[in-house]
Structure formats: structure tokens, C-alpha cells
Chain A
């Protein structure tokens, strides 16, 4: 053997980096621990620690006379959630989340379907950016834009006036439950803004699910005599369902926890998020605020369990 080894010619003294590297190679677990320690410490202490502190507080109660927190384990605060006023808040929020999710799915589906099946080349990019831009646009600006639109003197009233359809809006606003003084202070307004702000989160998961449906499967269905409508109903829709469920996780969870939209556009009736905010801020009733905050966690826990059963996690 006469082949010169370039490494053999090098001086044998190792640099500090090489020595550290040697140790890490010999102990792969040490490397793993070093990689994981900072993020786990951060998330474990700051985030989980806070969540745990919150959970703990929900088992305390407040003395309604002194306004002081009574640091004794009790389920009384949770019982308070079921008083008519508070339960009403929960019910209203869940109903709104369900309605907004359903509407989002209906509006998002055609966009996702078109983007997944028909958009090619440049149009694909247009669709992609067309979804990403509103998704990432400033949350408050989006709400603000709708305040401009829904205001009494705003663009919607103006447009309906031009179309001589103002009577329609007035008739709608006079309806109970959904109506109000103007759209910007009606539950309908809240609903529209919820749908607008969270709907983009529905598009991408549906699109991802639809893209996984091979074209040959649709052709096979047509080949077997299904009309396009039947193919859609019996083949495409079931296959897209995990995507819809995955998207609904976002829309549902985000609606459930939001407290800014109903504060700016809507009635004075509270949603869960607002209740949390008010109880911890103005009322200083941290235990009740904590108990309220646990509600969306529990609801989402149930929701995610069902979603997982439906295979929605593969579509995320």
C-alpha cells in the first residue's frame, strides 16, 4: 500500500470543535439533550407553566363581598359557568363557531376545488397568492375594513340604495335574533366578519385533500356511469371531507377564542373570549375567567378527538 493518505499527513492535534464533535458522536443522547433543552425549557416552563397556573386558578373562587380570591379548592367557579347568563354566553359562542365554520366550508370549497383540479401554471400561483394574502393580511385591518363596509353610511348601504334595495336591508335588520340597528351592530355583522377573517384557513386543507384525489378515480366514476353531480357527491365529497374537518379545526377554534371581532362589530351580548377578558380585567374575577378559558380547551379537545377519528390529521 503506497497510496498517501491526505489525512495521515495532517497534524494529529485536534481543534476544540473536533474534540467537542467527538464527544457528541460518542454520546448521541447528549446531542439530543442539548438540542431539546432550550425549546423544552422555554415551552415547558413559560407556556405549560402558565397554562397550569391558569388551570389551578379555575379551582379557586372569588369572595363576592370582598372581591378577594379564596385559595381553597372548589368546583364552585365551574358551577358558575352553568348559570343562565354564563351558559348563554357559551351556547352563543359555540353556535356562532358552528355557523361560521359551516359558511366558511361552503365558500371555501369552490375556491379549493378550482385551485386543486383546474388551476394550472400561472393561475395556480394566482390562486395561491390570492389565498395567502388575505390569510396573512393584518387581522385588525380586516375587521376595520368590514366596519367601513357595514357602517350605516358605508359602502353596503350606498350600493343597496343605488340598486333601490334598501328596503330589503331594513326588512332584514328588523328581524329578531339576527337583526339590529345597523349591520355593524347586529349578530349578522359579527357572523360575516368571523367568516371573512377565518375562512382562508379552510381553503388550504380542503385543497390539499382534493389534490390527493387522483384524477383517474374521478374518470373511473364517470366510466362507471356516474353523472358529474353523482361523482361529486359520492366520490369527491367523501374524499374531501377530512380536509373540510381539518380546516374546521382552525375556523372553529379561532372563532371560539376570539374576543375582538364581537367587541368591534356586533351587539353588546358577550362571547366566551369577551367574558374571559372582562372577568380578568374589569371584574378582577380571575378564577371565573380561568374557568371560562377552560371551556374552549375542553370543546376543542372533544372536537379534535372526533376529527382525529375522521382522519382529519392526515390532511393538515
Chain B
């Protein structure tokens, strides 16, 4: 069943087209990531699902039901906010129990449920504290518990790991993934970090300037980008312009090739000059310039090391050159 469906949804703010004609299907039970640079419309899409924004045009359905006239408090959707948005005047347990309090659950029952939710995020016993007494990671878990305790059918997460440091981030990524598998709830996750999107999501939608450039599995997005933007943004792939590709393969469309698939040879069809080197441990990153384009190659340790200024050629195995037929 489809959990969330966008049919030609737009959200314009005056002249700014924050979301511009987006079609989207998010399946039930899926871990779905919306990836894109800031201002690409991914957060607005999330807010459209939550009901904080209303579409200028198009139709949004949650589990088949149109939600155009449904305010946030009537949607079976809960949100984990980027700044967590914990209520500063309530302690942790009352924060978590807030939704249940509004739903009219008696105090004892809602506190028991809230305590269970806190235990699920490994914060059992923290109920009496105020949000201001918690660390960033702990606040994040409280926000998660506060959303999950309402048993939403879709959980929306707006850059939930953005404010955490790297180590905590990696740990939370695994925990979130585990929770999602355990609860079976649809997770919709907004991030600008491609690593995060690729490692956690079942499917990823890549946003750019209010539109979705590509939707697919992490492997699709990473190895088989549809358009140069995705190739560049997601995998920092090299993008070969259409005229070079046309000359080399006969097909006039841009193509992507991953840095680790590029090799340097003494001679070949694409002449290149080495402009810089940096040693990364297992690999060496080589910057080259060819016909006015910059490319990056990652050379394995055992490969011969070129020198800056060397005149060489770029080569690759044909199967690693990914043609992007849908030009942007």
C-alpha cells in the first residue's frame, strides 16, 4: 500500500517555487530519504506531509485519503524536528506524554506509555529532567520517543542528526534503522548528507530546485545517476560532457564515471594533464584536467604515482561509464 502519494504537488512562496510539480510515492513500511542541498524543497515536502504547509497546487494523499483539508492535528503522522522542538516548560515525561494527554488519556496510563517509549530510546528514568538538562543526543531521543509514543503510521524526520557530532551520528543512524525495522513504521527522512541517505534509506529521492531529479535505491542513485546533478551531488562522480561522450561512444548524452573507476594511462582517446595529488592512505586522489574539464581519479596504492604536470590520458572499463540519457 502507498503510505504517501504526491500528485503534481507544488508549493510556491510568491515567486519562489519551493516545491514545483513533484510526483512521489512512498510505500508503507519503507525507510525513505529525501536528499538535496539546502533550498531544494525537501523540507517543504516534509512539511506538506505533516500539514504545516498547504500545497499551492496538486494532491497529497496519506494512505489513500486526501489530506488537503486535514490540519496537522488530524493526520496520523508525527514529526521529529530539526531543532527537536521539545517544550521547555515541561519535563521529559510530560513532553513524551503530550500527544497522549491531548488525546485524553488519563495521567497514569500516558505516563506508563511515555516511560515505555523512553526505554525504547534507552532513556528510561530520565522522565523528571527538563529538556535543558539533556545533551543534544538525549534531546534527539526524547523527540523521537515523543513522536513514536503516538504510534504514527508515518514518522517524519527533519535532519534529525544534523546537530550531532560525527560519532553520535553514526550510532544514531544504526539505532534509527533498527527502530524502523522493529516498528515497521514508514520513515520519511530529510537530509542533505548523501552518506546518511545512502546508508540508511531503502529508497532515496534526490531534490534539486524544487523538483525531484531521481528516485531509486541507494545503489541506483550512486552507480546509475540519471542526470549530472545526481552524479555530482550524491557520489561526487565525474561528469563527462555530452560532446566528449559523443566522440568516444557515438551517443550524445552526458555520462558519469566514479573516481575509483578512472585510470591513468600513457596514451588514450582522452588526453589529460595532472594538476594535483593528495595521498589518502589506501588510495591517492589525483586531480586532472582534460579538454577544459576537471576530473578526479582515485588510484589504488599499488598504481604508479604520476607527478603534477604529467601529460597522460584517462581510461576506464566501458561498463563503468554510465550514460545519462535523460539530460537535464
Contact = CB atoms under 8 A, between A and B. Distances in A.
Touch between chains A and B, by CB atoms below 8 Å: yes
Interface string B17-45: 00000000000110000000000000000
A10 interface: yes
Interface string B180-202: 00011100000000000000000
Nearest to B150: A6
Given A1-B28, A21-B71, A22-B71, A6 B100 contact: yes
A7 interface: yes
A7 B103 contact: yes
Interface size class of A (residues with CB under 8 A): 10 to 19
Which of B73, B105, B185 has the most A CB atoms < 10 Å from its CB? B73
B150 A3 contact: no
A291 B54 CA distance: 52
Interface in B48-99: 51, 54, 69, 71-74, 76
B108 to A, nearest CB: 16
Nearest to B185: A3
Interface residues of B, number: 21
B28 A3 contact: no
Contacts of B103: 6-7, 10
Contacts, number: 38
Given A3-B185, A8-B76, A10-B103, A25 B151 contact: no
Nearest to A3: B151
B100 A26 contact: no
Interface in B96-150: 100, 103-105, 150
B153 interface: yes
Q: Helix, strand, loop or mixed for chain A's interface?
A: loop
A303 to B, nearest CB: 36
Nearest to B100: A6
A1 B27 CA distance: 12
Which of B1, B28, B72, B151 has the most A CB atoms < 10 Å from its CB? B151
Contacts of A5: 76, 151, 153
12 contacts: A1-B28, A3-B151, A3-B153, A3-B185, A5-B151, A6-B103, A6-B105, A21-B71, A22-B74, A25-B71, A25-B72, A26-B71
Interface of A: 1, 3-8, 10, 18, 21-22, 25-26
Q: When A and B form their complex, which 7 residue pairs have the shortest distance between CB atoms, in order from nearest?
A: A25-B71, A3-B151, A6-B103, A5-B76, A22-B71, A5-B151, A7-B103
